[in-house]
Structure 1
């Protein structure tokens, strides 16, 4: 229920405003350049002016296309026209204008983002991490190249996002909801309902006479979209991956020797220790614990008496323990004998007292002994570098005007041409075609391109595999001729008849059940043989736990009054549910403070979201905003191919 209220407000807008810039770039590739006042952001014609800041149509186009790509990942086969007509375009416009207003308002108040903050944000972006889990400049360059973004643009965008967050994060967090508002909603989660659910399947209804030609023609005209093949792309691509650079990536003996020398400490003889420790928040507690051990109390028993939790740390060298805790702790542990207990030693976490459980001597390893793992590590590093360099060379060739075939000849690559594919990889003209693993990641990028666009470098696996990609032709969406889909049309007409008859039967049953008859009796008296209704119900909290979707019939059960019966369409036109509510047992959350606090947290987020939304509106009003609705409508129509209504 709380999720309904969140959706009813502006959570999508708030997520757009508060979302970190790394999400926008690494997932969507949206460009939000932090330009000076008076410049048109991202170019194109001016669609809005906020204060003295102009917002351009190109930026809006980039944002809509990026949002569309995200939506396609969740809904295969989604077209741009469907996305726009579903409201996606307006959401992008609203988020873009609100974000610009908040940023400009913040800068007007003197807020800035330091270079150190920008560096930190960039280094923390997950998509920029290499195999070691640390920031990798090559990984960053690969991602930016994939998105067509320069490092300077990234820095500008991180700074812009930093300004917005300085304003919006405190506003979002400054929300408190009183208990008088929270308790009734928390109690609703404990409300218990019981009722019945039955189904009238469309398949149980007779199909009737075969459809006439006139009926077939009328149905086909009215439902042409159902028989339309989506827009398709014919792609040419050539892959560069580990197999193309394997020979060059093989480490030389000199490289292996140098890497072994650089990591000599890792391969030298070492001593490792297993310990059990407690960490106290004061020296006095640690001293008292150590005194209890010295007096003969077992370690675990002394920890329980002091209300301290022992933890085990296994197989650590002195250097590793120093990094994990502190030099004082490491010195104490490695100065004790096996079975001994250390004196209290301090770290940033508190005061440690440790028992040495085991001591292991690790023999050193020669270059020959580590040759295999060192070879694999160096080969992986060289492979990433070589692939990044190859992508950069192709990028340079594209910038110099080389066409697809010239790019492939320069890199000695072989092109592959696909059939005409839909956005989800189907090939309607070749039903047996199986989309290769390398092609599927390229589809979103291909559907952002036209046959007139230059080739692009498209990532398949970051830092490991990419493709040179071109679109050779775009096949517009078109309905299949009636002759090709006649059997399907006839089947759909018959199924529709059954669905309509099933609804009439279901509504008659619901009328009887709502008039006082049991649902089981109403089903038994139906003109066709139906199954027996099933008992259904439970508490709201139980039905919604663990984020599982609640079946639609149960959702309907929680909107009815006792004795009331309603009809609900079953998924996929399979028939109609009939739902009847028998009883309601009210909930009382006063005995469950944890539930009340959880509900308060959800409401606080709703209130915080509303604060952010209202602040964005106030920023726009304070700066003054002029919007060219005609220019926005034109772009909307162009993106939808004329399918969207301005």
Structure 2
């Protein structure tokens, strides 16, 4: 008897603990006693609204990225803060509407509800059952949903009142269109040393030395790092790799689909309800009364909907022989398909590709040898690491392994083969003289280790190394100066409109050139200069070979009657007006948030976030 009483007592104790536990759970669960994650003014931000908005944002992000996003990562991106900020702005507007007394009456609410497609029946009228079902599925009561509709509509009224009437003046769009659409007619002539009557004098040794001293920035060598390295690539040990004929034959068989492809056709297929309809369509095409494209369009389809891509005869089934006897550009059929009788248009023929084993042997040998060489290198990494860890120098590693020893002056523009690897560049840029060499693996299976010997600051190249470059620069400067003097001597006649060709210059006429145009063999500064000039003005523009002489002939304003220009003007005005409206509304929303500070319940936020973990 005592034992029975003890058992009952224990049961009641366990039940009490269970009830207490469930009660505690209800405090933080979404269906528990916490109903809002915060408030703005007297408007609560409900747990359900926040949870629903957060879920929608996550789904949108996953649809955009094409992959599932863990909630922790979404938080790292600030998605939760973005959603909360948006809801805070919304509720601040609701608080302002409550202060101003802006709302909609029952009749307006009724019209809003009846206009929602989800609540309409098959005949397009409001369906009370559909309304109740949809609201229930959304986890809301009808009263809550109708309150939400009232607030959404009131917010729209408030927002419309703030941004209505904001319009960018037409003068702005006119200015932009004028700038973008104006065109220039001009004549230009390239002037080089060959246009000079007398050649420029060659620079003396003193001239070269002085130019070098005055322009050392033009002859600078980049800062560099002196690096000793050991390197082993698959190509270096190909001669150590033995490839037997059996392995090559097996690889050829494994890749048979790559080397031997059946003949294919680029085909479009249009199916019909019966063979008579298909035959009539084919006859109409043959008679020239219709086209394949017209038949497709009449079905409400696009050509992409009937495109089969490139197919083999076997893939076409029973229609294969018919289609493969049809030349490119012709229509075949009718032929039976899984969709019924169909006609086929052949857009192209891809001939069969047959590569024999003998033809593919060398390529296969090279690929297989490279693969095995990479594996051979992989087996050596551990031994080389052990040597370096044991204190071996790079020189000793090169003596005891297949690795090649070398040195290089490394800088970001170095042309050494190793400098072409991103992995090597990263290590070379970061290594210090205190670092011990270690093996690193490159993308192609190569391995390397390096040691920093020292660094050299940027410095001028020795004059003897850049002597020819200095002579060319001096000669070019002198030629440009001589060409400028020649143009100045001819300017009075040029200003009178004398043709460039009268002086033996090669003249090029350009008409209807806008700012985005490209003129081959000219510097970009030519067009920049042209659009700064007035009609009849003459200027020179420096070029790599000397000068470009240019005369502006005319300026053409955009045609305001052109429909494309009119559409562009409308687009610019609409875009800028929208941008202004957004800026004004953003400023208003910030003012409302300052007027109605948000109070956030972090415990409730954590409870919602826990549901997404």
Q: TM-score, normalised by structure 1?
A: 0.45
Query: Larger Rg: 1 or 2?
Result: 2
TM-score scaled to structure 2, two decimals? 0.47
